[in-house]
Homo-oligomer: A and B are copies of this chain.
């Protein structure tokens, strides 16, 4: 049988990739299928090859193969994306970054570190043990730092320590034409030209492949305390959050669970929390006195706004149990309805509109045919709805999610606070950005005129 042009092109590309990587490139179907999707329900996309580079220079040479053969390049980290970022929608070369997993440099004095993009956040935290420093950004999953950079990720601590936007100081990036650039410096601040670092943070592999990340670290707090408080109303909980932040109380985490989420957590983690809108607090400070003072202020404000007992969790064991339960909500929720698929939303609104947004959303969910829970990083105005779906409920949930995005955008908010656009949220960007979306398209064309870099994500060119 004669080879088609496409087949011979792929054969040539595979040979060239083998020359660069030896055994570290695969065309085995099982490997390709493993790399065809993240943790979402978006349709998978199977790459033609999966590469496992060990250096920026190998990534550069892989990109040159993609240039020569006009093949897409799709970076792959831990595969925990929720918006289809890693799906090879047009085939091509999947670049699995997990073998670029060295922590290259830690500076205790400068409180920064440089890592390869495949290092996971937990790996970095472990490496930092006994340095007095840590890295706080904690999406639920043990994502890679390259992936977290590419999606502008955050998590429960953003209210105090910021998102990847604030915590990435510099990058090494392989551009679509194979050029390698370094952005940023090791100085804490700079006014020396356009902010390329922030342009790549959140670019989801569509402008280039991030291979190294320089990160800001934070002091491991000398003292930590936590607390949990049930509220009679959602408004009371949100009002408490607003006043805690307005007062400048140094809260490191301030998380919301609705009563349905509390129920799921109780069942999964063996807790016995009241089935009420609930806030979880964590306070970081330089001394027991300072965290106790912060917690007392939060307690006072909570009780003023319908808080029903503010339970301090001062021991490490209590705190760990609480935050493990919080971080396990994804699994706790799934266990409510085994075998269901999970749709997770990610809107973020100005905090002044948050109670209104949550209440309206809960009212809609009470009419839905599927169960759903809500959990949120309320200090940022960001909350997630997890919808547990049978096969015939996907369309209903998609329509709900679209209405939720409309509501959030009408309030001055965003369709995604921390999960990214991927392929799933492209349809919402025109309403959010208006004419600025055309500028984003222009940027994509400038960096990647052939549309090879993770095509079909963030913006469409065709």
Question: Footprint of B on A, CB under 8 Å?
Answer: 107-112, 132-133, 151-154, 158, 162-163, 165-166, 175, 179-183, 185-196, 198-199, 201-203, 207, 218-222, 242, 245-250, 284-287, 289-290, 293-294, 297, 346, 348-352, 380-382, 408-409, 412-421, 425, 428-429, 432-440, 442-444, 446, 458-459
Whether the pair A193, B109 counts as a contact (CB closer than 8 A) is no
14 A-B pairs whose Cβ atoms sit less than 8 Å apart in the complex:
A151-B191, A153-B191, A162-B166, A179-B435, A182-B436, A183-B436, A190-B348, A192-B432, A194-B202, A194-B440, A195-B195, A195-B202, A196-B439, A222-B248
Which partner residue on chain B sits nearest A434 by CB separation?
Answer: B182
Whether the pair B286, A249 counts as a contact (CB closer than 8 A) is yes
Chain B min CB distance to A429 (Å):
6
Whether the pair A191, B202 counts as a contact (CB closer than 8 A) is yes
Whether the pair A109, B242 counts as a contact (CB closer than 8 A) is yes
A245 to B111, CA, bound (A): 9
Question: Which B residues are in CB contact (< 8 Å) with A111?
Answer: 245-246
**Of A152, A201, A414, A428, most B-chain CB atoms within 10 Å:** A414
Whether the pair B190, A417 counts as a contact (CB closer than 8 A) is yes
Whether the pair B350, A436 counts as a contact (CB closer than 8 A) is no
Question: Which B residues are in CB contact (< 8 Å) with A179?
Answer: 435, 438
Main secondary structure of the interface of A (DSSP, over half): loop
State the copy count for this chain: 2
Chain B min CB distance to A99 (Å):
25
Q: Provided the pairs A189-B382, A247-B286, A417-B191 are in contact, do residues A198 and B350 lie with their beta carbons within 8 angstroms?
A: no
**Of A221, A286, A380, A439, most B-chain CB atoms within 10 Å:** A439
Q: Provided the pairs A188-B348, A198-B198, A352-B109 are in contact, do residues A193 and B437 lie with their beta carbons within 8 angstroms?
A: yes
Chain B min CB distance to A191 (Å):
4
A181 to B349, CA, bound (A): 20
Chain B min CB distance to A194 (Å):
5
Whether the pair B293, A433 counts as a contact (CB closer than 8 A) is no
Which partner residue on chain B sits nearest A437 by CB separation?
Answer: B193
A114 to B289, CA, bound (A): 37
A346 to B182, CA, bound (A): 22
Partner of A165, one of B158, B195, B458: B195
A243 to B287, CA, bound (A): 16
Considering the complex of A and B, which 9 residue pairs feature the smallest CB-CB distances, nearest first? A198-B198, A219-B248, A186-B412, A109-B352, A190-B414, A187-B348, A181-B436, A152-B191, A191-B420
Chain B min CB distance to A420 (Å):
4
Whether the pair A418, B196 counts as a contact (CB closer than 8 A) is no
A435 to B181, CA, bound (A): 6
Whether the pair B435, A190 counts as a contact (CB closer than 8 A) is no
**Of A189, A420, A437, most B-chain CB atoms within 10 Å:** A189
Which partner residue on chain B sits nearest A159 by CB separation?
Answer: B188
Partner of A440, one of B193, B207, B250: B193
Whether the pair B187, A412 counts as a contact (CB closer than 8 A) is yes
